[in-house]
Every structure is written in C-alpha cells, then in structure tokens.
Structure 1
Amino acid sequence: MSDRLSALLALIASTMLFAASYTLTKVALVDLPPFTLGLARFVLAGAILALWAVVTRQPRPSRADRRRLLAAGLLGVTAYFAVENVALQWANATDAALLVASYPALTALADAAVNRRRTSAVAWLGIALAGLGVSVIVVAVPDASAMTPMRLWGDLLLLVPGVLWAFYTFITTEVTTSPLLTITWQDAIGGLAFVPLALLELPRWHWPTQPSSTLAALAGLTLLCSIAAMVTYARALRGLSSTTVVTGLNLVPLWGLVIAASFLHEQVHLLQLAGGLIVCLGVTLTALKPAGVVVGA
C-alpha cells in the first residue's frame, strides 16, 4: 500500500471517528452530566496515553512546549468539550455534525482577525458561504415544532467550540513535541481540569439508568474518538497536504448524519442538507485560498 493511499484511508477513518462522537455523546449524556462526562472521558484517555508514554519511554516536552500544552489542554479539551457537551444536551447530533463543518472557516476568520494575515477574496467568499450555510442549518428543521428555544440555544452554543478550536490551533502549531505525545499531555491536562467542573454536578450524579449503553458510549468516546481518531488524523497530516486534509474534513458532517440517523433516528430536512453543502463549499474555497493556517476537526 502506498504512503499516500495509507494517509487517505487514515483521513477517512479519522473523519468517521470524529463524526461518531456527537452520537456517542448524546447517548452518554442520558446518564452523565456534561462536565462529568468530560472528566471521565479525558481522564481515562489521558491515563491510557500516559501509560503508553511511560512504557515507550517518551521524552519529556521542553519547558516552552509544556506551557503551550497546558494552554492547549485547557482550551482545546476542557473548554471545548465543556461547551460542546452542554450544547449537545439541547441540540441534535445531526445539528452538531452539520455545524462542525464551519469550524475550518471560523479558524481562517479568527486567523485573519487575530494574526492579521492577508486573506484572499476567494477565502472571504468561502467564509461568507460557510456563515450562510450555518444560518440555514440552524433555521431549517424537519418540523417547526422541533426547534425549541433550548435547541436553538444549543445550535448557537455549538459555534463557540469552533472559535475555541481556532485559538487551540494557533497554540498547537507552535508545539514541537510529537503528535501523539502532544495529545497525551493535552488529554491528561484537560481531563484533570474537568475535576472542579464535575464537582459542581455532584448533586446530579446517580446510578446509570442504562449502564450498558452509557459504558459503551464512554468507551467509544475514550478509545475511538479521543485516541484512535487523533492518531489516524495525525497520520493523515504526515502524508497529505493541509488543503487535502481540511477539505477531507468535510466528510465529518456526512458521517455524522449517517450515524445519527442510524442510531438516534434523527430526521434531517433537505434545507439542512443544503446548508451543510453550502458550508462544505465555503470551507473548500477557504482551504484552496487559505488565510495561512492549518486547521483540525
């Protein structure tokens, strides 16, 4: 198997695993409050990866990298997933899968604003199209009665992680530590930072009403989404251009819709699909004429 084909397969696998996280999170949230779920997911992932780092005698990151990893763990793990988990209490998994397609465009927009990078007219058009697509996704639902005020707030809140991811990306581009060791430190730091947030939910802790489903969802989030997805994504980044990877991330909404429809039986309006396609088109234009930053999922 050629190196490029292997990287392409890794990219496809990572998009499937990233997309599965929204459905798995919805299942786990039935029994676990959002911050408690974040704590369990990332402490477990961090512990597994830390064991790997010890067994394989991975080098300790430099002092400068440790500062960056601390910031990245707090921003890209704790803050990102705290907001996402809260939003998914109210929004549908299909909404999340479609809205996440706008994150690369949000990163490009933040990069242009914060780092003052020159942005081409084509990239601005792509960002504008992504914004239009997001508006369509939020407004168009299969049944007007299904758009409750809480679902609307959940959809809007799902845009916040996109901004957080942009700043997380800016930090991690400066890290020189290997990708897997970077993930190890970030998951461990981010998981531990969930402890005070999870303690706020202590009155909501209870024995699971559906223990098998909850444990399976937590295992999937930990092993598949927090570890395997990031490993395959890192493999794709090593074998493909950043433009190919960013464009390939447009598969996340497609897989997300298929998984949510299959397991949660969520309905999707044709207008929502159209909005998702508009977002993907906008992100593709932004990737073809980027604002100078490589983004992730």
Structure 2
Amino acid sequence: MQENHRMQGHLFGAFSVLVWGTTFVSTKVLLRAFTPLEIMVARFTLGFLALLIVGKGLMRPQKRWHEGLFALAGLSGVTLYFLMENIALTYISASLVGVIVAAAPLFTALIAAAVLHEKLSKWFFFGFVCAMAGVALVSLAGVSELHFSPVGALLGVGAALVWGVYSVLVRQLGHMGYRTIPLTCRIFGYGLLFLLVPAVIEGFPSGLSVWTQPVHLANLLFLGLCASATCFVTWNRAVFLLGPVKTSVYIYATPVITIVSSALILHETMTPIMWLGTVLALGGLILSEHREKEKTTA
C-alpha cells in the first residue's frame, strides 16, 4: 500500500510539472491583451469556483488557528509566488527567472528540515547541483543578454523561497486531516483575497467582452481549470504522499518541459547544449530521489 501511494505521488507530481511547463504558451497569448495581474485574478477566480463546485462548498477549518495556516498558504503559494515571479520578469530575462526559481527545491528542503525535521541526504545536494547546471544550460543557451538586475534576482529568489513555505504548509495541513480538494479551494480563496489589494491599485479589467473571444477563453479555461484547479490539487496531493522535499525536485524538470514544448509547439530549435542540459536536469532529479530507492531496497 505504501509503495502504491508513493507511485501515486510521483505520478501526481510529474503531471503537475508537465502541465505547468507548458502554460507559457497560454500565458504568452493572453499577455497580448491583458496584464499579468489580470491573468492571475482571472485564472485563480475560475480555479476557485471550479473547486468550490467540485468540493461542494467551502469547508470550515477544524480549529480557529488553522485559519492562519490556510491564509499563509494562500499568501505564499498563490499571491506572493506569482506576483514576485511576474514582477521579476520586468527586471530580468525569462530565462534567468526560470533558473533562479528552479532553486525552489533547495529552499523547500531547508525549510522542511527546520520545521518538519526531515533529514536531507547527500544525494539531494548532489542532485541539486547537477539539476541546476542542467537548468542553467537549458534556460540560458543562446541567450546573448541576460539583463541582470539585483532587484529582479531577489524577486526570483523570493518566489522560490515562498514556494518552499507553501509546500511545507500544505504538508502540515494534509497531516491535520484535510482533504486535498477542499484544502486547495480554501487556499485559493485566501490567495484571491490577497490579490485584490494589487488588483484595486492597478485597476480591474475594463470589461468581460475581451475574455469571451474564443482564443482568450480557451487559454483562460486551460490556465484556470487545468493549470490552477487541477494541478494545484495534484501537486498538493503529491506533497502529502511524498513530502515537500521529494515532490519539489520535479520543479527541476519545468524548464526542460518548457524548452521541449517550445520545440514541439512553436518549432523552436533544440541545440546540443540544450539536450545536454536536459540530461543533466533529469539526472539531477533522479539523484535527488536516490535516498528513497535505497530505503525501498533495504
């Protein structure tokens, strides 16, 4: 039974990252007509409503103090993560942001070790170095100008850090007996609530007519129902089954999926350096899971 749960966790984690790695196509299309904040509010509103329907309403926390954990999870995993990542893109290149955010597994591991007392093996750190080398090769190959900015870099690091906080919080809430869909729905609710602050400052969308255009609606449905509602549920479930550290290593594969999907969908060229980076990133992912395999065969 435990092995079955472990396999389910890996499948959920891989599925989430596979979808997240392709969302750049939909986001790129929507950015022609909307601001990043408008896209965020729209996709998470749709995701929240979908989970509200599937979960048959908004569940209540078992204890009052749990409300703070849900609020912090919404603030870190929805509001701050996406805001920091999007704002970082205005200071430095998307490739460099991708490399920095791919360091999220390290922050997740350090936070989990401090809060959940999870032990980290040497293989995790070997895998981290290998994967980050691969991510750098994949993301930065062919980029002539990185447009480096300390502010952009700090925002990228901040995004990776708050994602680690989010993953650890989800693990804690899962151990408190909350089911994945209601848990994710409440987190989305708080994420949207915190998003209202910058939304009010920037100004709400002028109207719904633009969203009803087929190309915009199709991409919004993909981002809201699949990339947000479905993938956050599968990711949170993976975190509960595997733990935040083992699940987070799948983030190493995100830039690889983005590059490969670019080649398949947009017919962009995969250079030998990109292929080498792909092998290193996936090899780092496998190395990071080495401790688990040793335990299984023992």
Shorter chain as normaliser: what TM range?
0.7 to 0.9
- The aligned residue for residue 167 of structure 1 is 165
Q: 1:76 to 1:29 in 2, by over 3 A?
A: same
Partner of 2:48: 46
For residue 123 of structure 1, what is the amino acid of its counterpart?
Answer: F
TM-score by length of 2: 0.74
1:65 Cα offset (Å): 2.1
Q: Map of 1:127-142 to 2, 5 A cutoff?
A: 127-138=128-139, 140-142=140-142
Q: 1:102 to 1:271 in 2, by over 3 A?
A: farther
Counterparts in 2 of 1:1-297, with a 5 A limit?
A: 10-54=12-56, 58=59, 60-87=61-88, 91-92=93-94, 101-112=102-113, 119-138=120-139, 140-142=140-142, 144=144, 147=145, 149=147, 157-175=155-173, 176=176, 177-202=178-203, 208=210, 211-234=213-236, 252-289=254-291
Cα contact 1:105–1:282 (8 A) shared by 2 = no
Task: Report deviation, 1:77.
Answer: 0.4
Q: Counterparts of 2:113 and 2:244 in 1: how far apart (Å)? A: 17
Please, which moves more after superposition, 208-217 or 37-46?
208-217
In the superposition, relative to structure 1, how do residues 135 and 25 fare at CA in structure 2: closer, same or farther (>3 Å)? same
Q: How many angstroms apart in 1 are the aligned matches of 2:253 and 2:136?
A: 20
Equivalenced residue count is 284
1:198 offset after TM fit, Å?
1.9
Cα distance, 1:59–1:109 mapped onto 2, change above 3 Å:
closer
C-alpha deviation, 1:237, in angstroms: 6.0
Q: Distance in 2 between matches of 1:185 and 1:143?
A: 40
Distance 1:106 1:280 in 2: 19
CA spacing shift, 1:148–1:123, aligned 2, 3 Å:
closer
- CA, structure 1 residues 183+53, in 2 after alignment: closer, same or farther (shift >3 Å)? same
- Per-residue CA deviation, residues 48-94 of structure 1 (Å, 9 max, x unaligned), is 22233345x855443232110000000110001112233456645x7
3-state secondary structure, aligned to 1:63: coil
Gaps in structure 1 of 5+ consecutive residues: 291-297
CA separation of 1:166/1:45 partners in 2, compared to 1, >3 Å: closer, same or farther? same
Q: In structure 2, what is the Cα distance between the partners aligned to 1:7 and 1:216?
A: 29
SS in 2 for 1:181: helix
Amino acid at match of 2:25: T
Q: Among the aligned pairs, what percent are the same residue? A: 24
Contact 1:12/1:248 (<8 A) preserved = yes
| Structure 2: distance between partners of 1:154 and 1:232 | 30
Between 1:60-69 and 1:162-171, the stretch displaced more is: 60-69
CA contact (8 A) 1:26 1:88 kept: no
Note the residue ranges of structure 2 that are not aligned, 5 or more in a row: 293-298
TM-score, normalised by the number of residues in structure 1:
0.74
Higher relative contact order, structure no. (Cα contacts within 8 Å, ≥ 6 residues apart): 1
